[in-house]
């Protein structure tokens, strides 16, 4: 079969290779696109690492820690934290539950609408997508309202509920620090982001025979205030900084925090929502889990600094615009669509 060869799939694997090759055939007559790795230089760097124990220490250390968080959010849009208060055994349990879930047969994940409320997603669903916009991954992306309201007492739901409540507290803590730093009422984001307006996303990136050609997750920014990410030891997350892709080295026990579009707009570009992507490898699958701090759909995002870089918009409007752009162009445009034209 030569080039047409497709690796044998485990019963839980989505048909990523077949789908990708079909897309490629239609688009390029079968030739390979430019290498993911070669497009732009990749360099490995340590993300700023912040020890949150300092927040529980004396006044001086506490203030220093807050400054580190603000500085990293301004300069990197990304940082990692240690001593974050989420027990290691809860992270291990979440990972075990996540693995159990992804090991269910592909057909069941796809068709069982009771399995985490039909929140399963794989590859790239937008119909007009091009091969270079294809994501080599699968995910369960679910609103926390579902976890809290389901009343479902399966082990995954109860572990997720515990994790969600811990990680929400942590997210609020960062939001307060960053809000206070730009001179706003620290409780502002708490009033807009309710426990059930946020999202949890469990990602799995199967090993990939074509890691030079395809990304696990396409370059994107997150459409939220901030994201808290837990990744395993495999590595693959990269962020775009100073014109280069920077590979984020996994740090045992750390959580990664990144600023989303809403914080960038609301802070009038003080904090940076940075583009990131995931690369895949031939040898190993990878798991990660992201918590997205999102407001209610009616929340208005408007910078208090005038003139503001972005026009006033509601979160509902932002989401709709993103969905529309993905449908039309195969990818998200994001904040550039909301620039204030003066």
CB 82 within 8 A of CB 253: yes
Asked if 98 interacts with ligand AKG (CB under 6 A), we say no
Rounded Cα distance, 200 and 291, in Å: 5
* Residue nearest to Fe ion as judged by C-beta position: 222
* 263 alpha carbon, distance to own chain's centre: 15
* Residue nearest to ligand AKG as judged by C-beta position: 288
Contact segment (CB under 6 A) with ligand AKG among 26-34, 56-64, 158-166, 229-237 equals 229-237
Contact set for Fe ion, span 220-259 (CB under 5 A): 222
Q: Find which of ligand AKG, Fe ion, none residue 203 binds, CB within 5 to 8 Å per kind.
A: ligand AKG
Torsions phi, psi of 27, nearest 5?
A: -85, -45
Asked if 229 interacts with ligand AKG (CB under 6 A), we say yes
CA dihedral 94, 98, 100, 105 (to 10 degrees): 170
Tokens of 101: 């879930």
Rounded Cα distance, 107 and 264, in Å: 39
Question: Longest C-alpha distance within the chain, in Å?
Answer: 68
Q: Find which of ligand AKG, Fe ion, none residue 229 binds, CB within 5 to 8 Å per kind.
A: ligand AKG
Q: Which of the following is catalytic: 201, 204, 277, 286?
A: 286
CA distances for 76 relative to 170, 178, 287, 304, angstroms: 19, 14, 24, 23
277 catalytic? Reply is: no
Asked if 217 interacts with ligand AKG (CB under 6 A), we say yes
CB 276 within 8 A of CB 237: yes
Asked if 261 interacts with Fe ion (CB under 5 A), we say no
Q: Find which of ligand AKG, Fe ion, none residue 36 binds, CB within 5 to 8 Å per kind.
A: none
| Site map 257..296 versus ligand AKG, x via CB under 6 A | -------------------x-x---------x-x------
Tokens 């620090």 map to which residue?
Answer: 177
Q: Find which of ligand AKG, Fe ion, none residue 231 binds, CB within 5 to 8 Å per kind.
A: ligand AKG
Q: Find which of ligand AKG, Fe ion, none residue 81 binds, CB within 5 to 8 Å per kind.
A: none
Q: Which region holds residue 131: left if phi is over 0, alpha if psi is between -120 and 50, else beta?
A: alpha
Nearest approach, Cβ of residue 115 and Fe ion (Å):
23
Torsions phi, psi of 13, nearest 5?
A: -80, 135
Asked if 201 interacts with ligand AKG (CB under 6 A), we say yes
Positions marked active-site: 286
Give the residues lining the site for Fe ion (CB under 5 A).
Answer: 222
Give the residues lining the site for ligand AKG (CB under 6 A).
Answer: 201, 203, 217, 222, 229, 231, 237, 276, 278, 288, 290
């Amino acid at each position: 079969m030569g080039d047409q060869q497709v690796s044998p799939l485990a019963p839980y694997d989505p048909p990523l290779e077949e789908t990708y090759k079909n897309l490629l055939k239609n688009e390029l007559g079968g030739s390979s696109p430019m290498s993911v790795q070669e497009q732009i230089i990749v360099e490995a760097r340590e993300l700023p690492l912040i020890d949150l124990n300092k927040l529980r220490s004396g006044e001086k250390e506490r203030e220093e820690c807050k400054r580190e968080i603000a500085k990293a959010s301004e300069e990197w849009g990304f940082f990692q934290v240690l001593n974050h208060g989420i027990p290691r055994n809860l992270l291990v349990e979440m990972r075990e539950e996540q693995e159990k879930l992804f090991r269910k047969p592909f057909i069941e994940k796809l068709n069982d609408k009771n399995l985490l409320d039909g929140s399963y997603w794989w590859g790239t669903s937008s119909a007009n997508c091009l091969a270079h916009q294809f994501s080599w991954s699968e995910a369960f992306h679910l609103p926390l309202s579902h976890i809290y309201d389901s009343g479902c007492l399966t082990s995954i739901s109860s572990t997720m509920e515990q994790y969600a409540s811990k990680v929400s507290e942590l997210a609020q803590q960062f939001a307060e620090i960053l809000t206070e730093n730009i001179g706003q009422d620290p409780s502002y984001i708490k009033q807009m982001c309710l426990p059930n307006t946020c999202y949890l996303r469990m990602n799995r990136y199967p090993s990939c025979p074509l890691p030079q050609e395809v990304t696990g997750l396409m370059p994107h920014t997150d459409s939220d205030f901030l994201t808290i990410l837990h990744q395993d030891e495999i590595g693959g997350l990269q962020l775009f900084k100073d014109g280069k892709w920077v590979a984020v080295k996994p740090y045992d026990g750390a959580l990664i925090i990144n600023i989303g579009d809403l914080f960038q707009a609301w802070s009038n570009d003080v904090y940076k929502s940075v583009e990131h992507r995931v690369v895949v490898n031939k040898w190993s699958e990878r798991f990660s889990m992201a918590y997205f701090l999102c407001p209610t759909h009616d929340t208005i995002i408007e910078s208090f600094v005038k003139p503001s870089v972005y026009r006033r918009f509601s979160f509902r409007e932002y989401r709709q615009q993103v969905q529309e752009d993905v449908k039309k162009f195969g990818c998200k445009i994001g904040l550039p669509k909301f620039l204030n034209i003066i």
